Amino acid sequence: MATDPHLFTDRQPETSEDDSERDLHTAHQVLNMGPSHPATHGTVKFLIELDGETIVGLDIQVGYLHRGFEKECESGTWYQAIPYTDRLNYNSAILANIGYCMAVEKLLQIETPVRCQWLRTLAGELSRIADHLTRCGAACLELAAMTPFLYGIEARELTWDLLESLCGARVTSNYVRIGGVKHDMPPDVPGVARESVAKIRGLLRDFDDVITSNRIFVDRLKGTGVISREDCLRYAVTGPILRSTGEPLDVRKTEPYLVYDEIDFDVPIGEVGDNYDRYLVCVEEMHQSLRIVEQCLAHLEKLGPGPVNVLDPRVRWPAKGRVFNRMEELIQQFKSVTEGPRVPAGEGYFAIESANGELGFYLVSDGSAVPYKVRCRPPSFINVAPIPGMLKGSLLADLIPTFDFVNMIGGECDR
Amino acid sequence: MPGKVVKVRRHEKLGWLERLYVPMIVKGLVVTSRHFFRNLRGFVSGKNRTDFVVQYPEERVDYPDAFRGMPVLVQLDNGQPRCVACGLCEFACPTDCISIVPGEIEGARIERYPEVFDIDMSRCMFCGLCEEACPEEAIVMSREVEIATYDRPSMIYEKQQLLVPESLLKRRLDFLRAEYDRQHAAAGGRS
Amino acid sequence: MDDCGSPVLRRLLEALPDAVEETHARLGDATARVGRSRIVEVLQLLRDDPELEFEMLTDLTAVDYLGEEPRFEVVYHLYSVAKNHRVRIKARVAEDAPEIESAVALWPSANWMEREVWDLYGIHFRNHPDLRRILLYEQFDGHPLRKDYPKEKRQPLVGPRN
């Protein structure tokens, strides 16, 4: 495929005194990396302009996984978009579920029951752990450290098993509903969860022992992919990348949603804004998420059984036990399923803190049962944009850790 | 709001031991051998297995109660589906993978039944909205996931392939009913 | 025009009263619709005013109101880290001249998002440094998020083997 003409300067060989530059053919080389490169976990193409091994220009071409998420959402009911949000980010499907459903709830102006909010927080934090584990594990793998990757994936396996017994599926959980969650926590989950949290802590300790002060790993990360706080803000970069520059911006703290204002957790920040800081911030965030998970479990037990769905028949489908036996609920079920909630006309933007940064949903409703516009503000897409600036002048090998810790998820980036 | 901002501890200067590579290699060996021997012991003795790898076709994992596999139709004792072909699952399905043609039996206790009930498994995404929509508990998510085939036409499951006796779906039905009861109780008896 | 109790809108109305066409703060989101030709001026004020300090262009998208005139609406979501407030700025763009001034000079984050809006809605951003398609390929015909683009429409496959 032809390179873009106005991105790369056609550098003419410079004339010098002895013409050695011209004789040595020092023109820049354009290297095509991707779309399916083993060292980038994501389908993305890099066109890299190289001077020797130094990157002088970089064009990132995304869109290989574009499947029309927003167009697809505009063709079904508000409910039918929920399984599609699962497919945005394969690591943290629940967070996308929560973002979408809470945006719809904002338009509907309803408040979900307390138990539902704690359940959502629990599930969301588990997926955040899974996301960070994938990011750190895969980064180690792509820097040729296989063992920590296996420990990371083992810990992710534990979180996914936990999500499976909570939601019914490991990856495409489809758990959160408009006005509630699919079902309450099965009774065996808290016990398994406590065991898993302890095991994940152990695995994180092993992960830490093997890699954090390993000189090869540290040398590959320290000082690479540096971005300043101001650049982050200008590029609207959020999440661990922004926090690694020392700016403690976390939507969970600045605009608390769900029950985050009742939970005790810290926001880790870095100071330099390089890949090593990003790694440390992610690891610390996992420990904080584990703390949140424990608090959620304790609180859910204290809370005792209770409703997990709003009891508004215009929003949530009626309770199933009644549908089987009573005419009114049966009629209501037919009406709810064929039509779904009618969302009042208007527009709303709701943002949550996903594992990669601010995940926002901007919804426009025309008052009907079908969304008029579903816009997902994908943190992956926006965080990828400043990579060329982060890498200009550094070595080609630095692209791999930088791209890993930006953690572009193809499904979310390309939608 | 509780919680604070913490600065991560950066190893700004590695100690000379760390710069020497050797201690890290030893540390790494200790950690990996600990994992290796623990996994080996569990694997050989068969008790307290800590390795995550499952020797797949011979060994299988047990899915939790909430697990959603492929959707199937509940078969009553008389061999007929419980489905009354109301078409709610067809409506609820985001991918339009269900197609139903209703039929009628004159004079029977339950008159309506599905003449044709096809699910295109190549489009189904196991989201479970059909199960949630069904007013008859007639379509449920089974524990079956091994449905890979070599061609697309055989991914379209017809009614006879989808029918599963109620006794085999007991675990899923029990899970669903327990959840209905809990929600019913939580709502204070109201729907 | 009403500031709807939002300090951001009040400051905006004070500084540029003639640029704002409509305001609301429904559901707690301060929103202002401004004239298309004044968009850069408004955004510049929002970024540079010490009372507002919107350092971040969080999101940029468009909505197609097919059948209304002007047809498109470009939507900007801004966030201020220093002040922890948000605002939504909208500008209407007509169908026959779907053009608006680019915001890349103010926030580089607009670069990719404007490319996306161009790709999916066909709204042209003037003075954008590199307005190419981003999610779709160059040979793609049409702009798929427009309401009159049929969902089922198929496009020819392109590639080295076709």
Question: pLDDT tens digits for A93-107?
Answer: 899 999 999 999 999
**What local confidence, expressed as pLDDT, does residue A4 receive?**
45
Are C120 and A351 an interchain contact pair (Cβ–Cβ within 8 Å)?
Answer: no
Class of domain C7-98: alpha beta
Structural domains present in chain A = 69-109+112-309+344-414 (1.10.645.10)
Pairs of CB atoms within 8 A across A/C: 91
The alpha helices in C52-150, defined as continuous H runs, are 110-121
Nearest to A362 among C57, C75, C135 (CB): C75
Query: Which of chain A's residues have a Cβ under 8 Å away from the Cβ of C137?
Result: 63
Q: Which of A309, A283, A334, A406 has its CA nearest to residue A101?
A: A309
At least 3 CB pairs under 8 A between chains A and C: yes
Using one digit for the tens of pLDDT, what is the confidence trace for A19-53? 665 666 677 888 888 788 877 777 888 888 888 88
Is residue A148 scored above 70 in pLDDT?
yes
Number of H helices, E strands in chain B: 6, 7
d(CA A328, CA A325): 9
Percentage of chain A surpassing pLDDT 70? 94
Predicted local distance difference test score (pLDDT) of residue A19:
63
Cα A373 from Cα A315, distance rounded (Å): 19
Say what the ipTM of the complex is.
Answer: 0.90
| pLDDT per residue as tens digits for the range C4-43 | 778 888 888 888 888 888 888 888 888 888 988 888 888 8
* Residue B48 CB coordination number (10 Å): 8
| Residues of chain A contacting B62 with CB distance shorter than 8 Å | none
pLDDT score recorded for residue A100: 92
Cα of C19 to nearest chain A Cα, Å: 22
What's the average model confidence in pLDDT over A99-128?
A: 91
pLDDT in tens, C94-117: 888 888 989 898 899 899 999 999
Please give the mean pLDDT across all residues of chain A: 85
- The answer for C 61-120 residues in CB contact with A (under 8 A) is 61, 63-64, 75, 77, 81, 84, 86, 88, 107-109, 111-113, 116, 120
Q: What is the pLDDT of residue A16?
A: 54
Contacts of A235 in chain C (CB under 8 A): 107-109
pLDDT > 70? residue B118 = yes
Which pLDDT belongs to residue B2?
A: 59
- Cα distance from C137 to chain A (closest Cα, Å)? 8
Q: Which residues of A touch C86 (CB under 8 A)?
A: 349
Tell me which residues of chain A, numbers 59 to 98, contact chain B at a CB-CB cutoff of 8 Å: 76, 79-84, 86
A385 touches chain B (CB under 8 A): no
φ/ψ of residue A401, rounded to 5? -65, -35
Cβ atoms of A118 and A300 within 8 Å: the answer is: yes
C151 touches chain A (CB under 8 A): yes
Per domain, the residue ranges of chain B are 71-186
Residues forming beta bridges with residue C101, ordered by sequence position: C126
Substitution target from A375, A392, A408 for chain C, most C beta carbons within 10 A: A375
Task: Determine which of B22, B29, B182, B190 to mutate to test the interface with A (most A C-beta atoms within 10 Å).
Answer: B182
| pLDDT tier for residue A315 given thresholds of 50, 70 and 90 | confident
Instruction: Say whether C111 and A364 touch across the interface (CB within 8 A).
Output: no
The DSSP-derived string for A329-377 is HHHHHHHHHHH-PPPPSEEEEEEEEETTEEEEEEEEE-SSSS-SEEEEE
What tens digit of pLDDT does each residue of C150-159 get?
A: 888 888 877 7
How confident is residue A8, by pLDDT bands cut at 50, 70 and 90? Answer: very low
Nearest to C63 among A7, A364, A414 (CB): A364
pLDDT at site A132: 92
Confidence of residue A9 (pLDDT cuts 50, 70, 90): very low
Q: How many CB pairs under 8 A join A and B?
A: 181
- Enter the pTM of the model: 0.89
What is the fold of B71-186? Answer: Alpha-Beta Plaits (3.30.70)
β-pairing verdict for A45-51 and A29-33: antiparallel
Which residues in chain A are contacts of B28 at CB distance < 8 A? 147, 209-210, 214
